[in-house]
């Protein structure tokens, strides 16, 4: 890591600067050398930094499939801002709550802040998952959703007959993805009862921040609200 120190790029999560980010298996300039953050994690953190009220006003935050780099930053934010921070996953290892996102044993409006990034592409019934996210998000709260998507596609590509890992990788980019989302993610979230704001990194953060934080233009962030 030391030999990559520099100030060409800077990770907004851990605050360290580098000559470039580390390569990932399929692309260069991707991962933070220090905290391991990917482009999408840095985009999400920039959003939370740009809108400090999101965490400052939160009382209880539910974080699905908690990413290591964000988890540490959110634990610190929870202590600082005084909100409860719960992690959840279908796999109970290392999380607070074992949850099936399509059927959560949680009260309506149990959380006023929810993070669900790169989960729905693994869920067969994503409409049910989105309705559950809507149900457990308290009125006036927020639910931030990210999915891997091909934003050049208007509509999501799904085919339930594609189940073999290699075929899924070919069709949906990864062995365990069940669809390839397009730009209609926001329509799906609205159908679940959310209001939806689409945050596109280039527009939201500007060209300079995009380059400095090493963000991907296509990592759109869906900031969902409960009317
Ligand atoms: Zn970092």
Q: Which CA distances in Å does 218 have to 6, 39, 153, 178, 190?
A: 26, 10, 11, 19, 20
CA of 29 from ligand 1 middle (Å) equals 13
Q: Mean pLDDT throughout 161-186?
A: 92
Between CA 74 and CA 115 the distance in angstroms is 11
Handedness of CA 167, 187, 38, 225 (dihedral sign): negative
pLDDT at residue 1, rounded to an integer: 63
Q: What pLDDT score does 40 carry?
A: 97
Q: What is the pLDDT of residue 174?
A: 86
Q: In the prediction, which pLDDT does 173 show?
A: 87
pLDDT at 97 over 80: yes
With cut-offs at 50, 70 and 90, classify the pLDDT of residue 227.
confident
What is the per-residue pLDDT for 2? 72
Check pLDDT > 70 for residue 199.
yes
Cα-to-centroid distance, 157 and ligand 1 (Å): 33
Task: Indicate the pLDDT class of residue 208, thresholds 50, 70 and 90.
Answer: very high
Q: Does any domain span residue 26? A: no
The pLDDT assigned to 92 comes to 94
What's the whole-number mean pLDDT along residues 79-93? 97
Kindly report, residue by residue over 124-147, the tens digit of the pLDDT: 999 999 999 999 999 999 999 999
Residue 102: CB partners within 8 Å, gap ≥ 6? 123, 125, 128, 129, 132
Instruction: Say how many Å lie between the CA of residue 44 and the centre of ligand 1.
Output: 13
Q: Quick one: pLDDT at residue 98?
A: 98
Q: Which of 49, 51, 46 is nearest to 9 (CA)?
A: 46
Question: 30 in a domain, yes or no?
Answer: no
Cα(58)–Cα(217) distance, integer angstroms? 28
Cα–ligand 1 centroid distance for 172 (angstroms): 28
The CATH number of whichever domain residue 158 belongs to comes to 3.40.50.150
- Structural domain count, the chain: 1
Three-state SS sequence of 139-194:
EEEEEEEECCECCCCCCCEECCCCCCHHHHHHHHCCCCCCEEECCCHHHHHHHCCC
> Which pLDDT band, with edges at 50, 70 and 90, does 207 fall under?
very high
Query: 159 CA to middle of ligand 1, Å?
Result: 37
In degrees rounded to 5, what are phi and psi of residue 226? -115, 110
**Is 70 exceeded by the pLDDT of residue 55?**
yes
Length of the chain counted residue by residue? 227
CA of 106 relative to ligand 1 center, distance in Å: 33
Domain around 149: 58-225
Antiparallel, parallel or unpaired: β 22-24 and 27-31: antiparallel
What is the tens place of the pLDDT at every residue in 143-169? Answer: 999 999 999 999 999 998 999 999 999
């Amino acid at each position: 890591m030391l030999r990559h120190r520099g100030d060409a790029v800077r990770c907004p999560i851990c605050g360290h600067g580098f000559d470039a980010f580390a390569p990932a298996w399929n692309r260069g300039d991707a991962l933070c050398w220090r905290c391991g953050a990917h482009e999408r994690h840095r985009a999400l953190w920039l959003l939370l930094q740009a809108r400090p009220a999101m965490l400052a006003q939160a009382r209880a935050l539910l974080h699905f499939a908690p990413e290591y780099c964000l988890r540490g930053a959110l634990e610190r934010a929870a202590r600082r801002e005084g909100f409860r921070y719960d992690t959840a996953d279908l796999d109970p290892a290392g999380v607070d709550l074992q949850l099936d996102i399509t059927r959560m044993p949680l009260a309506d409006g149990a959380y006023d802040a929810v993070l669900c990034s790169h989960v729905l592409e693994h869920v067969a019934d994503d409409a049910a998952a989105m309705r559950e996210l809507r149900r457990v998000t308290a009125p006036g709260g927020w639910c931030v959703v990210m999915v891997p998507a091909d934003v050049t596609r208007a509509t999501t590509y799904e085919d339930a007959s594609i189940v073999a890992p290699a075929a899924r990788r070919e069709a949906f980019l990864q062995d365990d993805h069940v669809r390839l989302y397009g730009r209609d993610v926001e329509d799906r979230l609205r159908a679940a009862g959310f209001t939806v704001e689409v945050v596109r990194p280039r527009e939201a953060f500007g060209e300079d921040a995009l380059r400095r934080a090493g963000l991907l233009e296509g990592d759109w962030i869906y900031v969902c609200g409960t009317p």
